[in-house]
Structure 1
Amino acid sequence: MSRRSLLRVLGAGAGAAALAGCGVPAAYVEPGDRAAADRSGREKRLVFANWPLYIDTDDEDPQRRPTLDEFEKAGGISVKYTEEINDNDEFFGKISPALMNHQDTGRDLVVVSDWMCARYVHLGWVQEMDRSRQPNVARNLDPLLRRPPFDPGRRHTVPWQSGITGIAYNRKKLGREIRHTSELWKDDLRGRVTLLAGLDEAFCLLMQGNGADVTRWTADDFHTMTDQLRRLVSKRHIRRFTGNDYIKDLSSGDVLACQAYSGDIIQLQADNPDIEFVVPEEGAELWAESLMIPNLARHKSNAERLIDHYYQPEVAARLAAAVNYVCPVPAARDVLAASRDKELAELAGNPLIFPSDDMRKRLATARDMTSKERPVFAKEWNEIVGL
């Protein structure tokens, strides 16, 4: 089962609503006020909050996590691993009261999507990492992921896994190839195509399809895209806007093409080889879900060591083989290719885990929305989508 198939994708407004409900305005925290006394030297432990189904597990004992167990054994550091993150906005609302009030969240390491990481970074709610403790990160992090607009140099965040938002379609039932986003709007797909409902998940690919440079997109680019969507919705060309339930629609044949996540499609292709995933010629979004150390975390050095553990190519290869997302450590490809296990060796050639050079040229990461832009754009988007 795909990890994302369990998750509920929400619109962009929930996090702001969670803050408003606290009765306290979001407050920027200055760099000098973000760190607590680090207890890593005397307390060999840390708390790591992640999403469900997002780590390797033992086939015979799902409670065992081999790569994490290996870290604990080698470093003598105990890890309390929780699968408590089911939605970016929901988790933001859960820990934001502590962060805005300059309190420890009780977590040393968390994983959220990069568009949400941007919110934490801009608020000053996460700590800068010490790269001298992370030589593997410095050496092995994919160049495509090193410079997100919200965190130049990746000083506050490190990708856990990455992925692509592109187009999935049933080649056999559709009877043609899809190579351009505009091909979703052809008459033979009227009522048989779906798009993602979440603003942050959807808008990048759609603007790329119109030729926009998403690394510096403008309000005009956004409105051109939403005007296009209004016309398509009025003609009932788009069947519906979905969360991760597009997986069921594509599998059943109710839809023939859809906006989709690369990690999900690897799962579907195992059962249906007619399903294809494409990075359109105009480009697709490369995203990441990243590790962060919240303000006042008590075991910062331990957390930095754990992050660096996962940037060893051998460890990254095992994690990639388990979760099937785009691996942020390109060197892990050679590890898998050299495996005597045929299935593992084949993963090294899967472009949805290790994108080809040609595919990489078409991948981009959108600039993040400013706090002033987000309410306006979210309102316009939600009116179209029906949220």
Structure 2
Amino acid sequence: MSRRSLLRALGGGATAAGVAALATGCGVPAAYIAPDERGAADRSRTDRKVTFANWPLYIDTDDKDKSKRPTLEAFEKRTGIDVRYTEEINDNDEFFGKISPSLMNHQETGRDLIVISDWMCARFVRLGWVQEMDRARQPHVTKYLDPLLRSPSFDRGRKFTVPWQSGITGIAYNKKRLGREIRHVSDLWAGDLKGRVTLLSGLDEAFALLMQGDGVDVTRWTADDFHRMCDRVEKLVDSHHIRRFTGNDYIKDLSSGDVLACQAYSGDVIQLRADDPDIEFVVPEEGAELWAESLMVPNLARHKANAERLIDHYYEPEVAAELAAWVNYVCPVPAARDVLASSKDKELAALADDPLIFPDDGMRKRLAIARDITSGERTEFAKRWNSLAGL
């Protein structure tokens, strides 16, 4: 099972949502931390450790002993740095609510490295809650980071964030049951799919693909684009064309045949196809969203240099290949493809040719990182989208 298939697509509850609204809304200047107040005395040389918070099922494990993580252990053996790894992130908003009180109050979080989705990373970067990384300690990041991921709108040049893994929000469908191909977002609105289509319920997860279907350049979308997209979705909801809005439970609907086509994540479909080869994943001709979940060093982290070395470790092509073979998301290190292709193991070598792990040139031309939703836009847009999605 993929990581996303086990997690809630939305969440955080009232407490986390309240904290998020407080910290990201307008008129809260106290939440912002100035650059000269973000760092702390770095103990990396004398205290050889790093605390790393990640999502469940998002790192390689040993087949015989799931408590062992080969790529982490290789780093520890080579550097002498002890990695204290925790799988404590189950939802972006929930984790935001967990650590934001410390960050707002200029306190340590107890973590040197965290991984969250880029749309949430944007909030941290705007609020000044994460530290700029020292690329002198990260030659592999500089050399091997995928050009498509190098400069999102919220972090030009990736000064504060580095992708851990990436993925595509596209369309999944059962080709055998549907009896035809899907090539465009507009194909979802055909009459034979009435009541058999689902969309993702999360605003940040859903909106870009739907805009792309209308020909919008999602790297520079506007409020008018957003509301025009919502107008279209509202009509499809009212006519009962859209069956419902889902989290990761679209996997069950698609597998059972209750749904024939849906918005989906590329990593999930790799897993689904292992059981049902009739399920296809499509990057529409109009394009699809390329997203990432990224590493950041929070303010006042005590082992910043060690954290930066650990990040760079995962950008060595051999290490990136080992991780990609286990997690099956889009690898942010294209050079890892050659490593897998040269493997004597046929299954590993086959991963090099999987466009959902290493998108081919044709697919890459249709991928874009959407401009993120700003704090000033979020309240208005979330209110409208949630009313459509029934949230």
Tell me the TM-score normalised to structure 2 length: 0.97
- Alignment partners' CA distance in 2, 1:256 and 1:372: 37
For the structure 1 residues 141 and 297, does the alpha-carbon distance in structure 2 shift closer, same or farther, using more than 3 Å as the test?
same
SS of equivalent to 1:85: coil
Deviations 1:196-251 (A, max 9, x none): 00000000000000010100000110011000011000000001000000000001
Count the aligned residue pairs: 386
For the structure 1 residues 307 and 183, does the alpha-carbon distance in structure 2 shift closer, same or farther, using more than 3 Å as the test?
same
Pairwise CA distance, 1:2: 1.3
Task: Please give the residue correspondences for 1:176-255 in structure 2 after superposition, counting only pairs within 5 Å.
Answer: 176-255=180-259
Task: Please give the residue correspondences for 1:28-177 in structure 2 after superposition, counting only pairs within 5 Å.
Answer: 28-177=32-181
Pairwise CA distance, 1:9: 1.2
Pairwise CA distance, 1:16: 4.5
Deviant stretches of 4+, over 4 Å = 11-16, 19-22
- Alignment partners' CA distance in 2, 1:350 and 1:369: 31
Amino acid at match of 2:389: V
Task: Please give the residue correspondences for 1:280-359 in structure 2 after superposition, counting only pairs within 5 Å.
Answer: 280-359=284-363
Residue 277 (structure 2) pairs with residue 273 (structure 1): yes
Asked if the contact 2:12/2:94 (under 8 Å) is kept, the reply is no
Deviations 1:310-368 (A, max 9, x none): 00000000000000000000000000000000000000000000001000000001111
Asked if the contact 2:273/2:280 (under 8 Å) is kept, the reply is yes
Of the structure 1 ranges 280-289 and 11-20, higher mean CA displacement relative to structure 2 is found in 11-20
Alignment partner, residue 8 of structure 1: 8
Amino acid at match of 1:231: K
Asked if the contact 2:11/2:94 (under 8 Å) is kept, the reply is no
Pairwise CA distance, 1:275: 0.2
Residue 370 (structure 2) pairs with residue 369 (structure 1): no
In structure 1, stretches of 5+ residues that fail to align are none
Amino acid at match of 2:251: I
Alignment partner, residue 267 of structure 2: 263
- Alignment partners' CA distance in 1, 2:156 and 2:13: 26
CA RMSD of aligned residues (A): 1.4
In structure 2, stretches of 5+ residues that fail to align are none
Asked if the contact 1:12/1:378 (under 8 Å) is kept, the reply is no
Pairwise CA distance, 1:369: 1.3
For the structure 1 residues 355 and 329, does the alpha-carbon distance in structure 2 shift closer, same or farther, using more than 3 Å as the test?
same
For the structure 1 residues 203 and 241, does the alpha-carbon distance in structure 2 shift closer, same or farther, using more than 3 Å as the test?
same
- Alignment partners' CA distance in 2, 1:131 and 1:278: 36
Pairwise CA distance, 1:18: 2.2
Asked if the contact 2:43/2:303 (under 8 Å) is kept, the reply is yes
SS of equivalent to 2:324: helix
- Alignment partners' CA distance in 1, 2:389 and 2:247: 12
